[in-house]
Amino acid sequence: MAVLHLTKDNFNETLNTDVPVLVDFFAQWCGPCKMLGPVIEEVGKEIGNKGVIAKIDVDKQQDLAAQYGVASIPTIVVFKNGKEVDRSVGFIDKSKIVSLIEKHA
């Protein structure tokens, strides 16, 4: 499944699903975010129907970042049925990203 790019317009609709939704809060200028980006894309291709992978550019979607208390980036937040169920701050490797999804599948 392709990685979705979320805005305030499609955020709630995307979260209201019974599979985990992993959201990568990032910024274009952030070094660790640039390293994490290709990993997120790879996971998105591999997980199939187990979950949804999405990204939010915190510079363009400041309200969403503030709403979820994102103070450092990259921050990965996992949602299920519209509610936050897990969170990780900083760069993490592919296996940890996959386990965040599978833990809530």
- Residues that are catalytic: 30, 33
Q: What are the C-alpha distances in Å from 47 to residues 9, 33, 67, 81, 84?
A: 25, 20, 27, 18, 19
Neighbours of 64 (CB within 10 A): 18
